Amino acid sequence: MKPVKVGLFGLGTVGTGVVRIVEGHQEDLQSQVGSPISIAKILVKDRAKARSISIDPAKLTEDPWEIVRDPEIDVIVEVMGGIAETKEYILEALDRGKHVVTANKDLMALHGQEILAKASEKGCDVLYEASVAGGIPIIRTLIEGFSSDRITKIMGIVNGTTNYILTKMSQEGAAYADVLKEAQALGYAEADPTSDVEGLDAARKMTILATLGFRSNVALEDVDVKGISAVTQEDIRYAQSLGYEVKLLGIAERQDDYISVSVQPTMVKKSHPLASVGGVFNAVYVYGEAVGETMFYGPGAGAMPTATSVVADLVAVVKNMKLGVNGRQAALAYKEKKLKTDEQIASKYFLLLHVEDRAGVLAQIAQVFSRHELSIESVMQPAAPDQHGAELIITTHSASKASLANVLAEFGELAAIRTIKSVYRLEG
């Protein structure tokens, strides 16, 4: 029985996991696809490097083109990362009729539609389940499970590092800087944590999910991004006092074919399932017109969860090869992209203001809200942390992003308001 031959790009933690699963689960894999799956060649940076698994040295290469141009190799599995050069390898592999499985969220967020179009043209599969939410099969679910439904909203915790930091801040009262150092020591955060804590990693994942969910070619620059570096213990305490948890949420919404996508720290009602997602776990909440509300939860990263998603895609590719149906499931964007304006984006909001402690201040603030047609839901004045002014917590009814911006701009000119300390979207 002729084996399906795989070229593996990358032998880091995920690549090692892929090798372990493919070699350790051969009997199970063969029962599913009807033939052996063999990792024929592996691209590495250094062939002489010591490794945690036993690999035939003859399979290792430092030349990517040796794999791309090998006529014996049927499928490329890419788990090494990178964008420009990796895209070049994948496009040539597709030109040569090879199928591709990738875990590369950066590549798929920036160039996914171009790669999928090439795959469709060449009758090849490109599967990328592991690029979003690690071991959660959310991409396959959006493509297949919701194929008969119309998705109106995708809301998720799609970055484990920031969720770990916010969970520790919430549960232990720790400061942001201290938890970040701990996350780095544990390997959850990189030495340069910018991509995670400033929301860039989550934005790339939401680009992919929004493109799939709404069938429109959402670009990374369409995502409104704000990270968690400004979240304070004070914010978290006030959120909890109102019955909320602070989470970094990716939110993609569609209404009347107009869409918006954002990543931002958000106060989530404790009764909402996303509020209880702790640590490095991920969860994606999907609203469909027919099915209603569904949530998908699991490990968002890690060698074996991610490798499991990669191998699941590999199995799907091989099954398609046996059936002769490769290249027919590319989820290409076919709808015109219509982005919501700030007047169309609506939400409830939380505001924390430091104001002068004197009569008439609240009336001035209420007048500003009224001028911009933004309705107040509640006002609280907690005990002041010092004797120099007062703090006001204001929650609003649903209002447009434009109205909020106008209110905040006028607050900046109002002498009675010393500082706009925090502004959060409210969900759930």
283-295 mean pLDDT: 95
Structure tokens that stand for 345 in this block: 């984006």
CB 333 within 8 A of CB 397: no
Structure tokens that stand for 378 in this block: 């509640």
Q: What's phi and psi for 258, nearest 5 deg? A: -100, 135
| pLDDT-derived band at 284, boundaries 50, 70, 90 | very high
Pick the CATH number of 138-299 from 3.40.50.460, 3.50.50.60, 3.40.630.30, 3.30.360.10: 3.30.360.10
| pLDDT-derived band at 362, boundaries 50, 70, 90 | very high
Helix (H) or strand (E) holding 67: helix 64-68
What is the DSSP-derived secondary structure letter of residue 382?
P
**What single-letter amino acid sits at 400?**
S
**What single-letter amino acid sits at 87?**
K
As to burial, measured by CB atoms within 10 angstroms (0-12 exposed, 13-18 middle, 19+ buried), residue 271 is exposed
Beta strands 75-78 and 346-355 are unpaired
Length of the chain: 428
Give Dmax over CA atoms of the chain in angstroms. Answer: 86
What is the DSSP-derived secondary structure letter of residue 147?
T
Q: Which of 9-13, 47-51, 113-117, 409-413 has the lowest mean pLDDT?
A: 47-51
For CATH 3.40.50.720, the residue range(s) in the chain are: 4-133+303-323
CA dihedral sign, ordered 234, 240, 244, 246: positive
CA pair distance 84, 261, nearest whole angstrom: 25
Q: pLDDT, tens digit, for every residue of 78-98?
A: 999 999 999 999 999 999 999
190-200 mean pLDDT: 94
pTM: 0.93
Between 300 and 53, the higher pLDDT residue: 53
The answer to whether residue 386 scores a pLDDT higher than 70 is no
Single out the residue of 124, 30, 129 nearest to residue 321, CA to CA.
124
pLDDT at 171: 96
Interhelix angle 105-122/200-214, nearest 10 degrees: 30
Q: Which of 196-210, 301-315, 374-388 has the lowest mean pLDDT?
A: 374-388
For CATH 3.30.360.10, the residue range(s) in the chain are: 138-299
For CATH 3.30.70.260, the residue range(s) in the chain are: 346-427
Structure tokens that stand for 295 in this block: 């949530």
Pick the CATH number of 4-133+303-323 from 3.20.20.140, 3.40.50.720, 1.10.10.10, 3.90.470.10: 3.40.50.720
| pLDDT-derived band at 188, boundaries 50, 70, 90 | confident
Virtual CA dihedral for 81, 85, 88, 94, nearest 10 degrees? -30
405-410 mean pLDDT: 97
The answer to whether residue 180 scores a pLDDT higher than 70 is yes
Alpha helix positions (H), 123-272: 138-140, 160-172, 176-186, 194-197, 200-214, 233-241
Single out the residue of 17, 14, 66 nearest to residue 40, CA to CA.
66
pLDDT at 304: 87
- Ordered DSSP codes for 221-255: GGEEE--STT--HHHHHHHHHTTEEEEEEEEEEEE
**What single-letter amino acid sits at 183?**
A
Task: Share the mean pLDDT of the chain.
Answer: 94
pLDDT at 186: 85
CATH 2.60.40.10 fits 346-427, yes or no: no
Place of tokens 């070619």: 217
pLDDT at 292: 95
- Number of helices (H), then strands (E), in the chain: 14, 17
Virtual CA dihedral for 357, 362, 364, 366, nearest 10 degrees? 160
CA pair distance 348, 426, nearest whole angstrom: 5
Single out the residue of 344, 287, 38, 317 nearest to residue 146, CA to CA.
287
Cα three-residue angle 331-334-338, rounded to 5 degrees = 120
What residues contact 130, with CB distance under 8 A and at least 6 apart? 14, 79, 102, 103, 306, 307, 309, 310, 313
pLDDT at 135: 85
Q: What's phi and psi for 219, nearest 5 deg? A: -100, 160
366-393 mean pLDDT: 89
| pLDDT-derived band at 112, boundaries 50, 70, 90 | very high
| pLDDT-derived band at 299, boundaries 50, 70, 90 | confident
Helix (H) or strand (E) holding 288: strand 281-288
pLDDT at 331: 72
pLDDT at 301: 75
62-67 mean pLDDT: 97
Three-state DSSP state, 355: strand
CA pair distance 328, 119, nearest whole angstrom: 9
Exposure letters 130-142 (e unless 16+ CB within 10 A, then b) = bbbbbbbbbbbbb
pLDDT at 221: 97
Point out the residues that are catalytic: 205
